[in-house]
A and B are shown apart, each in its own frame.
Chain A
Amino acid sequence: MHDTPAARPGHDGSAPNPYLPQIATVSEVITETHNIKSFRLRLDDEEARRNFSFEPGQLGQLSLFGAGEATFVINSPPTRKEYLQFSVMRAGEVTSALHGLKPGDKIGLRAPLGNAFPYNKLKGKNLVFIGGGIGMAPMRTLLLYMLDKRKDYGDITLLYGARTPQDLSYAQDREDWLKRKDMRTVLTIDAPAEGWEHKVGLIPNVLTELAPSPENTVAVTCGPPIMIKFTLQALEKLGFQPEQIITTLEKRMKCGIGICGRCNIGDKYVCIDGPVFTYAQLKNMVNEL
């Protein structure tokens, strides 16, 4: 059971301090819904900005000094370099403090963290995006990336739902997505609302009604746990294999580098082994979502 341990580790002097955020400036604040705001940031250091690279699906830790740090997906795609966008739902202490940010304010950023969507392996595939509520944020990154590289991918369908019309984010994007001829966009809300011209119904039910073919198709989904549970069931009923379903997880995180012990699911750490997992991978992990 016990191998001889490796030589005592030392600090090699060149390793960067993984806890030290880079300083960025808020360039724009977009009020998405009554409790979601999107923040666009630019790293202050020009060289850092030039060298910054990430892949769709990766995470960032936003620091509001004095309030603390919290984890969000980078929801602008790497194909759009003018800013990094993060969407923040007001829920706890740090997110409430973040909601007070104004353009010009300073913020800390540790990014990129974690793995990414397998956007290269998805080339040539049809995609079905299924986003619920704030779960649309990581979908947006990959969707915009694919729209920017449209020729590399097959048919694209987006199913985006929220409780009410007022709970849908990304108004400008939605307008564009609905207009586009090279993708199909379906919006849904939980209960009828005046003036609503789209679907009414829970996401898994609308998905079943749309009945996308699993043929050469991969489904990408993110949303609240209850929606994910029934969406996975609906996808399996439609004939999607677990390898054809990709999701991205959220957990409470602190370090973001696989040490602090909060986000593990058995021996997998959402911050470094994830946040992106296939349903096949999830099925092999312990049941602790």
Chain B
Amino acid sequence: MRFLFYLINGISLGSVYAIIALGYSMVYGIAKMLNFAHGDVIMVGGYAAFTSAVTLGLHPVLSIGVAIVVCTVLGVIIESVAYRPLLEASSSLAVLITAIGVSYFLQNLVLLIFGSNSKSFQSLIRIPGLSLAGGTLVISGEMIVTIVACIVIMLALTCFINRTKMGQAMLAVSEDKGAAQLMGINVNGTIALTFAIGSGLAAIAGVLLCSSYPSLTPYTGAMPGIKAFVAAVFGGIGSIPGAFLGGILLGIIEIFAKGYISTQLSDAIVFGVLIIVLLVRPTGLLGKKIQEKV
């Protein structure tokens, strides 16, 4: 029973990672940058939902909507102000450092507005939990919603990318910017759209994360951001099923490591597994192998 409990817990945490990783993976695929500010967008989403639900007293569904809108707008602004001028820079490290600057900026802005005290986030999910096996196995409403949301998002994204013109444009831009432009694709617009979707997903992840782990500080997003990136790499960065699989596996490994081995070492174990996977499959579980040509 303990095993089942951990497993469901792990899938639920993994679903949050997967949602973040989907956004991360899309952004990486198209802009080829490690977006260190992604985790902080999650945190902003959490604060936006917190403010609209607690301070303004909006309906939970409405406050989730507010969080999504805030983060989407934020993502587009960050992209156009801080990243776009540097995407063509001679070193890809330039945009990485700018992302770190944006990350510091968001953390300190939130710190100034809301203070450093951790806010106790009341869960926005009003669905009752399930009690199985005579009450020995309780699955909370948050877990159910998280897992369902993750699956829905994954399917919707897959459809969007494979079935719509804009999705195809994204694939084209991530493959070859120059060629895409020659085919009449608005490259900057497509990149902005990718950031918008990625940040919107981060907002959803922020709300779900804070509903399950109800403490919100300006630094809440940093570690989940890194873990989600690990998940994206784990599954093969740039691949949507890969990000999903990587996220779920990472969540399960983390919860099992916490439950059976050691709470303090759980992060080390997660990173250890990542290293082993990458050494065996250097492009992740579902990543494409790119042949190097002279």
Tell whether A and B belong to one assembly. no
A-to-B contact residues, CB < 8 Å: none
